[in-house]
């Protein structure tokens, strides 16, 4: 297989040649005041909710159509200038940083919902549509888009990072939700992958090759999405456990029994304390599961009762139903505000969030070993997770301006990633690789990483599509 | 993007050079009597349940380990000889034919179930394990492997063609069932893709790149599969409808309501007649849905009642429950014997089976237009489908030895493929492309076909992995 050009090949060399200036001139001619080099805007487009340092692009272009994206990519390709796709900037691992400079293509103005086919439970949206915008738009159709990573991310960005979230245990991830894509390739061509059929055996699955490719193989500009019917009934509630292990074991049994739980989230005692303070709850400060069941009235009642019995078997409970919609909303708002709740425990701290995913049988072990590591380091670091999938997050409250503390944090994250991989899991369940997780890719993928490099090489031979992400420099 | 070598580049040229003889000599040295050039065996490995003419490989090698597959591939690569992976030969579109000669690597002896992790609802199997073998093996664990294409195919072959079948509406396709793979690449390296975590955002989704690639990018030798818990209760039955449109409309409403039906299969009146004769049923000879519900006792009862009401709304019914397991088994055996039931309608005929998949809102239109086309041609051609996915099959009973009738059949299949594509669907929902559907790939994928060619080019630069499949010669 061919050697992949290093991240610097296209970018750094040509930047020295003034290629970026020439590209910006062409882009300004085309996009007028929708091409900007203002430092504030550039920093905003390098900045993310990440612990990595801001690396702003040289310019930001606000595209309004797929054709405009293609034109911008063609101009950048002609000048061998890097291109970074930007949605809402809510990614966590430095995905939108521009380590080699280049042009950020902001897709947030591509926010049209192009069609909703209620009969087929699908829709077609532009990449800049956000998940909340989509769900507001389709509410009256009786459908909903279930992928919920917490942040009001753009759908294009969610596809690019293979996002998931609280509902994934029941409804899957972006891998499952995307039926087809419109993609601008590295040479500025517009291709369509997949389609509207629920399944197909017609050739290579390019849709899922682009989902999770973080803008390194092409730019997603439109998506055909699978939608789900709004459940007839929803019930939910919280269930305390004496320790993390018993909570995890209750989750394992729930999943094994095939109970079609829609959400099953673990908050450790630190996280519960944060939620009590930030969201004004009065939960016992002990490891707690937040649950939600979707189905018919009788179905959700039956599921709740089955879960209650499981919880009791593992020493947990009582399972407190939140039957009223407003109580449920308050609970899930608290869950979604976990990030801020964590921060409220140590307001002066910076936050480094990381995630891993393991086979569910190893979940209790992995969480326990991680909690011990947190204690050993003396970190304040709530744990919260989409445990039905074996996926959990650690939010480390540290002072990242202190080089020693930053290093200890990075080392902790590294141990966590390798612990998950050693347990047959992955260094990231849903946040993506970006810059932050590149160093674990060789360990996780072995020689398969060469196949990834080969695919990157052939689809982006000059390494201009979001260079410096996913694939570590070899 | 680079030009793809044509199918003949590696193969035909080097065959002339006696490369195949040298490769077989090396293979015989390694595999002894597990390398055969007997014509009977070669024909058996070119032969499939396909309408395409048999194109036998030059030799057949029976591999017993991944390492042996890698050795065989390395020998073939060194001599630039094509390699065709073979499971059970139950594919339908000429997938295992050897149009440029080469070596068939038979994986049927790689039939070990390597691990079953009941807690994680996953298992690891060698590629030659068949789905019935796996389900027998795991029955006592309370788990089952839901993908059911009818034939007792090998799991490796099912992954290679992205197979699905009757349960897909509830449990997904091989795209969803495969968590990870061991693959021998074109240069004889052994790579592992994916893992045991239920989800991951760590890099390109190579697993789904190989699933559905029909052995053209590498040879799948081991698979980690997601399993499902056996449902607590199963109920099912049959429901007659006055016409295909009303049956399809009942299906659309069922899916839209989010009723978690496990199987929902349409048999048109011709197929019902065949089943009555072949499987000794006494169903009214009218379009009929076969259904199955999985869940709790209360859940399946509720689902059955909800479906009954839907059927009635569309003029169908009565929905006849088959509560006894043996009645249900008889019904589903009849469904699985649809191929033979169809043949029993015209025992002297050859059978050409084809499949397409459309958005479910277009299902009634697509089936109706196809039924009209069948009438116009004077074909006897039962229609049967996994209609919950918008996927249906036509089984044309013709004399393929008559060139004019063969041509008319091929033209009919072409019209059906293009009709499905024009409706936003795909030329094959689950059978794969092989040789038979190549001619529709450009129409379905447009310029995305160039991206597929680029991926093929970089992962198999000499076009030795199952050449002449999926990608039409450009």
Query: Which run of H or E residues covers position B170?
Result: helix B168-171
**Residue contact A448–B187, C-beta within 8 A:** no
Mean pLDDT of A6-29: 69
Q: Let me know: does B110 contact B126? Beta carbons within 8 Å.
A: yes
- How many Å apart are CA A219 and CA A188, to the nearest integer? 9
**Pairing relation of β-strands B228-229 and A320-321?**
unpaired
Q: Considering only residues B35 and A10, tell me which one the structure prediction assigns the higher pLDDT.
A: B35
Helices then strands, counting H and E runs in chain B, come out as 18, 18
Mean pLDDT of A229-233: 89
Mean pLDDT of B403-415: 96
- Our measurement of the distance from residue B8's CA atom to the centroid of its chain's CA atoms, rounded to an integer in Å, reads 26
Task: Write the pLDDT tens digit of every residue in A189-199.
Answer: 999 999 999 99
Mean pLDDT of B156-166: 97
Residue B48 has pLDDT above 80, yes or no: no
- How many Å apart are CA B317 and CA A80, to the nearest integer? 65
Supply the DSSP symbol for B258: T
Task: Write the pLDDT tens digit of every residue in A298-333.
Answer: 889 999 999 999 999 999 989 988 878 888 888 888
Tell me if residue B1 falls in helix, strand or coil. Answer: coil
Nearest chain B residue to A209 by CA distance is B205
Task: Write the pLDDT tens digit of every residue in A135-183.
Answer: 999 999 999 999 999 899 999 999 999 999 999 999 999 999 999 999 9
**Six-digit token pair at B396?**
């044309």
Per cent of chain A over pLDDT 70 is 96
Task: Write the pLDDT tens digit of every residue in B50-87.
Answer: 788 899 999 999 999 999 999 999 999 999 999 999 99
Identity of the residue in A191, A213, A424 whose CB atom sits nearest the CB atom of B195: A424
Contacts of B191 in chain A (CB under 8 A): 446-448, 450-451
**Six-digit token pair at A444?**
């996780």
Mean pLDDT of B272-296: 94
Q: What is the least distance, in Å, from the CA of A50 to any CA of chain B?
A: 16
pLDDT of residue B13: 42
Q: What is the least distance, in Å, from the CA of B208 to any CA of chain A?
A: 6
Mean pLDDT lowest among A177-186, B24-33, B317-326 = B317-326
Residue B17 has pLDDT above 70, yes or no: no
Rg of the Cα atoms in chain A = 22
Rg of the Cα atoms in chain B = 22
Which CA distances in Å does A355 have to A53, A386, A445, A461?
A: 19, 10, 17, 31
Residue A14 has pLDDT above 80, yes or no: no
| Among B199, B217, B294, the residue to mutate for chain A (most A Cβ within 10 A) | B199
- How many Å apart are CA A54 and CA A52, to the nearest integer? 6
pLDDT of residue A3: 39
Q: Let me know: does B198 contact A360? Beta carbons within 8 Å.
A: yes
Nearest chain B residue to A214 by CA distance is B203
**Residue contact B189–A447, C-beta within 8 A:** yes
pLDDT of residue B160: 98
Output the average pLDDT for chain A. 93
Taken in order of first residue, the domains within chain A and their CATH numbers are 8-109 (3.30.43.10), 113-229 (3.30.465.10), 233-340 (3.30.70.3450), 344-445 (3.30.70.2740)
Contacts of A266 (CB under 8 A, 6+ apart): A244, A247, A248, A251, A287, A288, A289, A367, A383, A384, A385, A387, A392
Nearest chain B residue to A190 by CA distance is B447
| Among A198, A227, A358, the residue to mutate for chain B (most B Cβ within 10 A) | A198
Task: Write the pLDDT tens digit of every residue in A332-356.
Answer: 888 888 888 998 899 999 889 999 9
Task: Write the pLDDT tens digit of every residue in B372-391.
Answer: 999 999 999 999 999 999 99
Identity of the residue in B432, B433, B446 whose CB atom sits nearest the CB atom of A191: B446
Output the average pLDDT for chain B. 93
Task: Please list the residues that pair with A184 across neighbouring strands.
Answer: A190, A219
Q: Considering only residues A471 and A53, tell me which one the structure prediction assigns the higher pLDDT.
A: A471
Mean pLDDT lowest among A4-8, A36-40, B22-26 = A4-8
Cα dihedral A396→A398→A403→A409 (10° resolution): -20
**Six-digit token pair at B107?**
């994986």
Contacts of A102 (CB under 8 A, 6+ apart): A11, A20, A57, A58, A76, A81, A82, A83, A84, A464, A467
pLDDT of residue A7: 39
Per cent of chain B over pLDDT 70 is 96
pLDDT of residue A5: 36
Which CA distances in Å does A205 have to A180, A199, A219?
A: 10, 11, 17
Nearest chain B residue to A433 by CA distance is B202
pLDDT of residue A48: 67
Nearest chain B residue to A158 by CA distance is B201
- How many Å apart are CA A87 and CA A126, to the nearest integer? 11
Q: Which of B448, B248, B89 is nearest to A195 (CA)?
A: B448
Residue B173 has pLDDT above 80, yes or no: yes
Q: What is the least distance, in Å, from the CA of A40 to any CA of chain B?
A: 30
Residue given tokens 């390109």 in the structure block = B204
Cα dihedral A283→A286→A287→A288 (10° resolution): -20
**Residue contact B198–A117, C-beta within 8 A:** no
**Six-digit token pair at A377?**
């380091």
**Residue contact B298–A296, C-beta within 8 A:** no
Which CA distances in Å does A16 have to A80, A105, B353?
A: 11, 21, 60
- How many Å apart are CA B145 and CA B52, to the nearest integer? 31
Residue B285 has pLDDT above 80, yes or no: yes
Residue B268 has pLDDT above 70, yes or no: yes
**Residue contact A358–B231, C-beta within 8 A:** no
């Amino acid at each position: 297989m061919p050697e992949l050009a290093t991240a610097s090949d296209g970018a750094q060399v040509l930047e020295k040649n003034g290629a970026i200036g020439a590209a910006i001139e062409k882009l300004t001619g085309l996009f007028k005041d929708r091409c900007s080099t203002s430092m504030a805007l550039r920093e905003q487009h390098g900045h993310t909710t990440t612990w990595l340092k801001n690396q702003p692009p040289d310019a930001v272009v606000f595209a309004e159509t797929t054709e405009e994206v293609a034109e911008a990519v063609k101009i950048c390709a002609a000048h061998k200038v890097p291109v970074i796709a930007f949605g809402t900037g809510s990614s966590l691992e430095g995905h939108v940083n521009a380590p080699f400079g280049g042009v950020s293509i902001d897709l947030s103005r591509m926010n049209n919902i192009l069609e909703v086919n209620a009969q087929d439970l699908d829709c077609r949206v532009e990449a800049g549509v956000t998940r909340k915008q989509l769900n507001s738009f389709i509410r009256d159709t009786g459908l909903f888009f279930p992928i919920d990573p917490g942040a009001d991310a753009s759908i294009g960005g969610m596809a690019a990072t293979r996002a998931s979230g609280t509902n994934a245990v029941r409804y899957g991830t972006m891998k499952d939700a995307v039926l087809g894509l419109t993609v601008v390739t590295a040479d500025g061509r517009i291709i369509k992958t997949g389609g509207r059929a629920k399944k197909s055996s017609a050739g290579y699955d390019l849709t899922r090759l682009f989902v999770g490719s973080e803008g390194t193989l092409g730019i997603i500009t439109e998506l055909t999405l699978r939608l789900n019917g709004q459940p007839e009934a929803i019930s939910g509630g919280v269930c305390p456990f004496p320790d993390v292990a018993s909570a995890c074991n209750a989750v394992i049994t729930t999943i094994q029994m095939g109970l079609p739980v829609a959400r099953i989230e673990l908050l450790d005692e630190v996280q519960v304390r944060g939620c009590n303070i930030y969201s004004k709850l009065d939960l016992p400060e002990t490891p707690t599961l937040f649950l939600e069941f979707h189905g018919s009235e009788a179905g959700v009642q039956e599921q709740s009762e089955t879960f209650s019995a499981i919880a009791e078997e593992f020493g947990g409970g009582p399972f407190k139903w939140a039957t009223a919609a407003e109580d449920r909303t308050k609970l899930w708002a608290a869950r979604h505000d976990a990030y801020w709740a964590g921060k409220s425990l140590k307001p002066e701290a910076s936050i480094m969030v990381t995630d891993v995913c393991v086979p569910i049988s190893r979940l209790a072990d992995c969480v326990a070993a991680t909690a011990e590591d947190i204690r050993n380091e003396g970190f304040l670091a709530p744990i919260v997770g989409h445990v039905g999938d074996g996926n959990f997050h650690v939010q480390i409250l540290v002072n990242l301006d202190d080089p020693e503390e930053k290093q200890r944090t990075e080392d902790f994250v590294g141990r966590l990633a390798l612990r998950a991989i050693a347990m047959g899991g992955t260094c990231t369940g849903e946040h993506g690789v970006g810059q932050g997780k590149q160093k674990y890719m060789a360990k996780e993928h072995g020689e398969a990483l060469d196949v990834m490099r080969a695919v990157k090489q052939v689809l982006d031979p000059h390494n201009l599509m979001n260079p410096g992400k996913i694939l570590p420099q070899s």
